[in-house]
Amino acid sequence: MFIAVLSNDNEQYAIKHLELARKLGTKCKLNGVLPVGLSKEFFPRWKLFKIWLDAIDAGYGDVLDIQTAAYQGGCGLNTNYMC
Protein backbone atom coordinates (compact mmCIF):
# COMPACT_ATOMS: atom_id res chain seq x y z
CA MET A 1 0.00 0.00 0.00
CA PHE A 2 1.15 3.55 -0.64
CA ILE A 3 -0.01 7.09 0.07
CA ALA A 4 -0.33 9.81 -2.56
CA VAL A 5 -0.38 13.37 -1.25
CA LEU A 6 -2.58 15.63 -3.35
CA SER A 7 -2.13 19.36 -3.78
CA ASN A 8 -3.63 21.95 -6.09
CA ASP A 9 -0.69 21.31 -8.44
CA ASN A 10 -1.14 17.54 -8.81
CA GLU A 11 -4.79 16.78 -8.04
CA GLN A 12 -5.42 15.96 -11.71
CA TYR A 13 -3.19 12.88 -11.29
CA ALA A 14 -5.22 11.27 -8.49
CA ILE A 15 -6.68 8.60 -10.78
CA LYS A 16 -3.19 7.84 -12.16
CA HIS A 17 -2.14 6.88 -8.61
CA LEU A 18 -5.10 4.51 -8.40
CA GLU A 19 -4.27 3.02 -11.80
CA LEU A 20 -0.73 2.37 -10.55
CA ALA A 21 -2.07 0.74 -7.39
CA ARG A 22 -4.23 -1.56 -9.50
CA LYS A 23 -1.26 -2.52 -11.71
CA LEU A 24 0.82 -3.26 -8.60
CA GLY A 25 -1.98 -5.25 -6.98
CA THR A 26 -2.15 -3.00 -3.93
CA LYS A 27 -4.13 -0.06 -2.56
CA CYS A 28 -3.51 3.67 -2.55
CA LYS A 29 -4.56 6.16 0.09
CA LEU A 30 -5.21 9.64 -1.29
CA ASN A 31 -4.41 12.35 1.27
CA GLY A 32 -4.47 16.09 0.93
CA VAL A 33 -1.41 18.18 1.69
CA LEU A 34 -1.44 20.06 5.00
CA PRO A 35 0.51 23.16 6.07
CA VAL A 36 2.94 21.14 8.21
CA GLY A 37 6.73 21.31 8.13
CA LEU A 38 7.94 23.12 5.03
CA SER A 39 4.55 23.04 3.33
CA LYS A 40 2.43 26.19 3.35
CA GLU A 41 -0.40 24.61 1.35
CA PHE A 42 -3.71 23.17 2.45
CA PHE A 43 -5.72 20.94 0.14
CA PRO A 44 -9.41 21.52 0.91
CA ARG A 45 -11.22 18.58 2.48
CA TRP A 46 -14.20 19.05 0.15
CA LYS A 47 -11.93 18.55 -2.87
CA LEU A 48 -10.52 15.38 -1.35
CA PHE A 49 -14.02 13.98 -0.71
CA LYS A 50 -15.03 14.80 -4.28
CA ILE A 51 -11.98 12.99 -5.64
CA TRP A 52 -12.78 9.96 -3.46
CA LEU A 53 -16.38 9.88 -4.71
CA ASP A 54 -15.34 10.38 -8.34
CA ALA A 55 -12.78 7.57 -7.99
CA ILE A 56 -15.41 5.21 -6.60
CA ASP A 57 -17.83 6.16 -9.38
CA ALA A 58 -15.07 5.49 -11.93
CA GLY A 59 -14.59 1.96 -10.58
CA TYR A 60 -11.51 2.44 -8.42
CA GLY A 61 -13.17 1.72 -5.08
CA ASP A 62 -11.30 -1.58 -4.82
CA VAL A 63 -7.87 0.12 -4.82
CA LEU A 64 -8.79 3.34 -3.01
CA ASP A 65 -7.92 2.95 0.66
CA ILE A 66 -10.46 4.89 2.72
CA GLN A 67 -11.15 2.06 5.13
CA THR A 68 -10.05 3.83 8.30
CA ALA A 69 -11.87 7.02 7.45
CA ALA A 70 -15.08 5.60 6.08
CA TYR A 71 -15.74 2.01 7.09
CA GLN A 72 -13.99 0.95 10.28
CA GLY A 73 -15.60 3.33 12.74
CA GLY A 74 -13.05 6.06 12.16
CA CYS A 75 -13.62 9.52 10.91
CA GLY A 76 -10.65 10.88 8.98
CA LEU A 77 -11.60 14.41 10.02
CA ASN A 78 -9.68 14.40 13.28
CA THR A 79 -6.30 13.11 14.38
CA ASN A 80 -7.40 10.29 16.67
CA TYR A 81 -9.92 8.66 14.26
CA MET A 82 -12.47 8.14 17.04
CA CYS A 83 -15.29 10.60 16.29
What tens-digit pLDDT sequence spans the chain (83 residues)?
999 999 999 999 999 999 999 999 999 999 999 888 888 889 999 999 999 999 999 999 999 998 655 555 555 555 555 55
| Residue 78 located in a structural domain | no
| Residue 10 located in a structural domain | yes
| Residue 37 located in a structural domain | yes
DSSP designation for 77: S
The whole domain housing 13 covers 2-71
- Number of domains observed in the structure of the chain: 1
Distance CA 51, CA 41 (A): 18
pTM, rounded to two decimals:
0.78
Of 21, 13, 17, 45, the C-alpha closest to 32 is 45
| Residue 79 located in a structural domain | no
